[in-house]
Structure 1
Amino acid sequence: MKFLDEFRDVETAQRLIDQIGNRCTRSWVLMDVCGGQTHGLVRSGIERELAGTVELIHGPGCPVCVTSTQSIDFAVALSLRPKTIVATFGDMIRVPGGDGSLMQARGRGGDLQMVYSPMDAVELASAKPDHEVIFLAVGFETTTPATALAVMQADQLGLSNFSIVASHVRVLPAMEAIMAMPDCRVEGFLAAGHVCSITGHDVYEPFVRQHQLPVVVTGFEPLDLLEGILRTVTLLESSRPVVDNRYGRGVQKHGNAAAQSLIETVYEVDDCDWRGFGTIADGGYRLRSRYEAFDASRKFESMTTSHHHNDRGCHAADVLSGRIKPKQCPAFGKTCTPESPLGAPMVSGEGACAAYYRFEPISIETP
């Protein structure tokens, strides 16, 4: 097995693997809902090591991957407006929408700026008062507070040329959507440590009571993941559906109150379109009326579209819902590669397809 420099304790890893094998009386199906966990499981070889003992499937844990094509198309259209700059994170520029990607829009004359934080977009708007600056805001609860803070800062500065395409999404409603699928096989969840650092882990308690399966919060390094898997199968073997936190160094029961307050101040929960899932009830956020002047969908309402595009030739919906592994997609490694991606999971640094392409031997499987 291959480990990161800071986690090279192979003996501890092997002991955990042996404990998982000894604990399991049958093969259990676990789903992670975090792109960082997906990459950790694939990169370190944990998924291969546990094959036949635990089946690890990967859910919609990449926020870039689940950003709707409508949001991408809207951002593309905005970037082509005169004196308009669309700012976003680097991963977003190559994600295809129905009308192409932001990178392709740049080739058609669109103005695109890569930024490292929402505050960079606010500073850009302040420095270019003669331009409209629109930030394409994506991410789970982890990044939502930073965008909320940027909106509040823009409000305090009186920036009338700044707005956001609000595409932040919420993890728990997506887990509910997974469980509602008629062919759902998930028997336990590995919850995302970074998300839980904001939300806390107590938010999963009603979910666990309803569905009677364990949710274990874990980190992203190999030993974190193995400890999380061991705890999950232990709970399953003892028929104990509870929430358990195995990422105590980053997650508290009630989460980050200051970050939650920022989200609550600026946003309200709303139904949201997820790529590959369709509309998920309470699956995202929209700006409150107090901050509607910074909502690009209201500011440029005539340019929005409700048209849904499918990822042509891409099985992203099946990958993101855990129905198939990336290598089971007919396009994987053939017509879909990181250099020429058909869908978002091959583009993003947290996408499952990108992880398999980079860290797994290229062999094409059948669904």
Structure 2
Amino acid sequence: MSNIDYIKDFRDSKRIQALAKLIQKEVDRNINIMEVCGGHTHTIMKYGLKQLLPEEIDFIHGPGCPVCIMPKERIDHAIALAQDEDNIVATLGDMIRVPGSRSSLQKERAKGKNIKVVYAPFDVLKIAKENPDKKVIYFAIGFETTTPMTTALIERVVKENIKNVYFHINHVLVPPPIKAIMDSGEAKIDAFIGPSHVSVIAGAKIYKEIVDLYKTPVVVAGFEPVDIMESILWIIRQFKENRREVEIQYKRAVSWEGNVKAQEMINKYLEPREVFRWRG
């Protein structure tokens, strides 16, 4: 059995070019594809994939990342909490520079407010134990990918009976915005490239409703250029064969059911709300 290099082999120019030729040969209609995840958009841009594809294939860039879509009022919440000298606001570094209505967490930290950047949610435990007289508020962000880490932190706080850790939950889900886009009546989307890391946690099953409701193929793809090119080819073949299905291209990491233990942890501590406004 030959060894697979999961970096070089999935960025190999000969494989990318071969897939481009197959796509050129097999495409027989215009297809508007939305890549939901900003990671895929980055790969498309970085490797010039659009320039390799026939004009029949067009990308409609999706919602992006959980940082980009965070509404100003939620950042305003974190800024307001940081004004209290008894509070320490902790969050992942991605959120620091994102502007609220009048300021950002970075600007407030520069003014001396007690705002901590954590590299992982469990860093909050150390901050809380070192500051027993402060309320440590974890401003949690992310799609399904990072939600289990927040719930694992909640469980540790509960088990260790830590009294000075609080949570401001801002986790978001992928299927609802897809449905909102399709229900708007303005979308001209024929197929979706499903996000990678979200699907590792939630499983490819979360896209079945999208396929059933809108008759749009969904192919869950890895982040490398070969992954994306192969996924486009699979989408083309679904249309040629008159199929509308959820397919998993990223089989080296994604399953239909996903990480069941992580899902159980999420369901134990969190529940979806009716409305969560997105920026943009």
Task: Check whether TM > 0.5.
Answer: yes
* 2:247 corresponds to: 244
CA distance in 2, matches of 1:29, 1:8: 24
Counterpart pick for 1:107 among 99, 106, 110: 110
User: What SS class does the counterpart of residue 96 from structure 2 fall into?
Assistant: helix
Aligned residue pairs, count: 274
* Shift of residue 147, structure 1, vs aligned partner: 0.1
What is the RMSD computed on CA atoms of the aligned residues?
A: 1.4
* Shift of residue 104, structure 1, vs aligned partner: 1.1
* Shift of residue 6, structure 1, vs aligned partner: 5.7
Counterpart pick for 1:165 among 168, 175, 179: 168
CA distance in 2, matches of 1:152, 1:248: 30
Maintained 8 Å contact 1:69/1:275: no
* 2:133 corresponds to: 130
Note the 1:1-367 alignment, pairs <5 A. 7-50=10-53, 52-276=55-279, 317=280
Counterpart of 2:135, as a letter, is E
CA distance in 2, matches of 1:7, 1:199: 24
Maintained 8 Å contact 2:10/2:227: no
CA distance in 2, matches of 1:141, 1:123: 25
* Shift of residue 111, structure 1, vs aligned partner: 1.2
Counterpart of 1:83, as a letter, is D
* Shift of residue 190, structure 1, vs aligned partner: 0.4
CA distance in 2, matches of 1:31, 1:140: 17
Counterpart of 1:177, as a letter, is A
Deviations 1:199-237 (A, max 9, x none): 111222222111111011101001011111111121123
Counterpart of 2:79, as a letter, is V
CA distance in 2, matches of 1:137, 1:5: 34
CA distance in 1, matches of 2:167, 2:16: 44
CA distance in 2, matches of 1:104, 1:150: 27
Deviations 1:225-250 (A, max 9, x none): 11111111211233211111101111
Q: Unaligned stretches of 5+ in structure 1? A: 277-316, 318-367
The 1:205/1:8 distance shift into structure 2, 3 A limit, reads closer
Maintained 8 Å contact 1:80/1:109: no
The 1:33/1:271 distance shift into structure 2, 3 A limit, reads same
Counterpart of 2:108, as a letter, is A
Moved more, 12-21 or 41-50: 41-50
Q: Unaligned stretches of 5+ in structure 2? A: 1-6
Maintained 8 Å contact 1:197/1:252: yes
* Shift of residue 271, structure 1, vs aligned partner: 2.2
Maintained 8 Å contact 1:214/1:232: yes
CA distance in 2, matches of 1:189, 1:32: 6
CA distance in 1, matches of 2:8, 2:169: 37
CA distance in 1, matches of 2:35, 2:277: 17
Counterpart of 1:132, as a letter, is K
Counterpart of 1:205, as a letter, is K
* 1:297 corresponds to: none
CA distance in 2, matches of 1:25, 1:93: 46
CA distance in 2, matches of 1:217, 1:98: 36
* Shift of residue 5, structure 1, vs aligned partner: 5.0
CA distance in 2, matches of 1:126, 1:272: 34
Counterpart of 2:104, as a letter, is S
Identity %: 37
CA distance in 2, matches of 1:258, 1:215: 24
CA distance in 2, matches of 1:14, 1:165: 46
